[in-house]
A and B are shown apart, each in its own frame.
Chain A
Amino acid sequence: MADRDGLVPRDSVVYQEFVRLYQVARQLRPTSVDRWNGDLYAVAAENWGAFDPATGSIRLSPSRVLRHLTGSISPTEPHRQAQALATVLHEATHAGMLTDAPDEPNAVRTRHSLGLMEGIAEVRTLADFDLFTERSGYSGLVLAEPQYPGALTAAEGLIAQATGPAKSTVALLEEATRGPGVMHFDQLADAVVRNRLAEVVPHHPEHRRAVRAALIPTMTHAYWPSIQHRPADAGEHLANEVRQHLNAKVDEIRRYYLPNPQQPFPAEPPNPVQMRAPDTDVQHRVAGAEQMRFLAGQAPPTGAVHAKPALGDGARDTGATSVRPLTHSPSQRPPDRPRE
């Protein structure tokens, strides 16, 4: 058991259990991207841990997470174990998608996306927790739904307002967990277009992109307020603000398209790429992650890093999946071994 800071040995029982759980998480929501480089660190600070996009490694708390990865349900600490497994699911979600999409005009490369990325990861974690634990041998664990406004409730609120018959919650969550993170707002805006504006906006990529660009600020604007202090029920206030802004913009777009204009709806894209210099910083860091993978002796994950995100109306990733076999491939069922 890794009980202090440092790289968790790949031949250790806890490492192999983490790999097994990571694989189950990816099996439940496969993506074409796997940014985890196979390095697992135990970090004994007052943290849960995180996927590190710069290096591709995953760092987890030995006391809060790793010691609970035993292969079977804990009779004495089920609540702690549930949150440990939730953390694995959460980190697997981050590692399974690209974060950035520098060439996408509708990429939201601001802290708004950081908040929404957390929300999507938490929504996914809560959604998949039952099957994740049932499938991986931790049957019976319960993950209590958070009862406070934050990442999860903000994302759930946006999803509820954007989805509908033409693009459902199921479809949106499948798409969102494929990433990239900076496109989550665009994915939500696409749901609004399909569910509420499909009959008025032409099926032309430029029109659709422009309309999504116009809708995005209605969600980012109120998602992350610029004022310093919010009441404790900020979540509800923000959801109402988003609803008002979104409804007003939808009405404006409808009015614009009534006379069948030739020009797309006027909107400034959140990431006007044609006006920006090449993003050398991000390229360097991606190259760094690739180097780490090379040093670790691993093949690059299929489709990761170099894969151009399949985005834009009508050209979205259809869910084609390719799960990279990991270095260690323990069986899907829990190993028959003594607990740590």
Chain B
Amino acid sequence: MDIAKFNSVFSDARRRQRTEPDFDVTTAQAYLRELIAKEPDDDERDWALRMIDRLAEPLPDPPQRSELYAEAGRIHSAAFYSGGTTEQQLAALEAARRQIWAIADRASDEEEADIRAMTRSLEHLENGLRNPDWPAEPPGQSG
């Protein structure tokens, strides 16, 4: 079975399920079933059919977020969109990571990891700015 193709179509159906109020799950399921119709009757196909059936299950409600989550989110956004020189941006990213980590320490078990995960991209941006994979931008250049 072409797992990659199945994954692409399935994940897009999930995305539309999340974002489009009038998403037609039955049509999406029919398309996915057609996609694997000629596959041999084996474990892979059974697995794919189970996943297609699961599309019909309602998505879990988005979690109700706390003020701590919102505060961490604001810090993330300000750092992610911060401009200025590379040095200024690095300082903003590093400070935001530390602040968000400290907020996560005070958060509930349900939110702690999701708050801390806000730093994953910030950490990678820092790495990329410190050790760019291409010639560094001229000193003092703003975003």
Q: What is the interface of chain A, defined by CB distance below 8 A to chain B?
A: 27-30, 46-48, 50, 52-54, 64, 77, 79-80, 82-84, 86-87, 90, 94, 99-100, 102, 107, 109-112, 114-115, 117-119, 121-122, 127-128, 130-131, 134-135, 142, 144-152, 154, 168-170, 173-174, 181-182, 224-230, 232, 234-235, 238, 279, 281-282, 285, 319, 321
One of B72, B119, B125, B131 near A54 (C-beta < 8 A): B131
Question: Does B26 touch A at the CB level, under 8 Å?
Answer: no
Interchain nearest-CB distance for B27 vs A (Å): 15
**In the complex, B29 has a CB within 8 A of chain A:** no
Q: Are A79 and B118 in contact (CB under 8 A)?
A: no
Asked whether A118 and B125 contact (CB < 8 A) given A79-B112, A102-B134, A226-B83, the answer is: yes
A182 to chain B, nearest CB (A): 7
Q: Is the interface of B mostly helix, strand, loop or mixed?
A: helix
A54 vs chain B, min Cβ distance (A): 6
Interface residues of B in 65-112 (CB under 8 A from A): 65, 69-70, 72-74, 76-78, 80-84, 86, 88-89, 97-98, 101, 109-112
CB atoms of A135 and B125 under 8 A apart? no
Give complex CA distance A235, B78 in Å: 10
Q: List, in ascending order, chain A residues with CB within 8 A of B9's CB.
A: 170
Residue ID in chain B nearest A149 by CB atoms = B77
Write the nearest CB–CB distance from A332 to chain B, whole angstroms. Answer: 10
Closest to A134 in B: B51
Partner of A79, one of B101, B113, B125: B113
List of A residues within 8 angstroms of B97 by Cβ: 46
Q: Are B83 and A228 in contact (CB under 8 A)?
A: yes
Interface pair B125/A148, CB less than 8 Å apart: no
Q: Which residues of B contact A50 (CB under 8 A)?
A: 123-124, 127
**What number of B residues sit within 8 Å (CB to CB) of A?**
63
Question: Is A111 touching B137 in the complex (CB atoms < 8 A)?
Answer: yes
Q: How far is B117's CA from A117's CA once the two chains are assembled, in angstroms?
A: 17
Q: Please, how many angstroms separate the alpha-carbon atoms of A283 and B63 in the complex? A: 46
Q: B108 — nearest CB in chain A belongs to which residue?
A: A79
- Kindly list chain B residues whose C-beta atoms are within 8 Å of the C-beta of A142: 60
6 pairs, A vs B, C-beta closer than 8 Å: A48-B123, A64-B113, A127-B12, A148-B72, A234-B78, A282-B134
The CA-CA distance from A99 to B143 in the complex, in Å, is 19
Measured in the bound complex, the distance between the Cα atoms of B98 and A48 in whole Å is 13
Are A281 and B135 in contact (CB-based, < 8 A)?
yes
Cβ contact within 8 Å between A148 and B120: no
Contact B101 A46 (CB under 8 A): yes
Contact call B143/A112, Cβ cutoff below 8 A: yes
Pick from B11, B74, B127, B128: contact of A130, CB below 8 A.
B11
Pick the contact of B3: A28, A109, A174, A182 (CB < 8 A).
A28
Interface residue B114 (Cβ < 8 Å from any Cβ of A): yes
| A151 nearest in chain B by CB position | B121
Q: Is the CB of A228 within 8 A of B84?
A: yes
In the bound assembly, the distance between CA atoms of A164 and B83 in angstroms comes to 31
**Least CB separation from A237: chain B residue:** B81
Separation of A79 and B113 alpha carbons in the complex (Å): 6
Q: Which of B11, B81, B117, B123 is the one whose CB lies under 8 Å from A128?
A: B11
Shortest C-beta distance, A210 to chain B (Å), equals: 22
Q: Is B34 an interface residue (CB 8 A)?
A: no
* B:13-67 near A, CB below 8 Å: 14-15, 18, 47, 51, 60, 62-63, 65
A28 touches which of B4, B14, B62, B86 (Cβ 8 Å): B4
What A residues does B121 contact at CB under 8 A?
118-119, 121-122, 150-152
User: What 0/1 pattern do residues 1 to 13 of B give for CB contact below 8 A with A?
Assistant: 0011011111110
Report whether B112 and A80 are in contact in the complex, using a CB–CB cutoff of 8 Å.
yes
Nearest chain A CB to B89 CB, angstrom units = 7
Residues of A near B11 (CB, < 8 A) are 127-128, 130-131
Which residues from chain A contact B76 at a C-beta distance below 8 Å? 148, 150
Contact at B18–A230, with CB atoms within 8 Å? no
Q: Quick one: given A46-B98, A148-B76, A173-B8, are A114 and B117 in contact (CB under 8 Å)?
A: no
Q: Please tell me if the beta carbons of B129 and A115 are within 8 angstroms of each other in the complex.
A: no
Find the B residue at minimum CB distance from A54: B131
Q: Across the interface, which residues of A come within 8 angstroms of B119, CB to CB?
A: 47-48
Look across to chain A and name the residue whose beta carbon is closest to the beta carbon of B18: A145
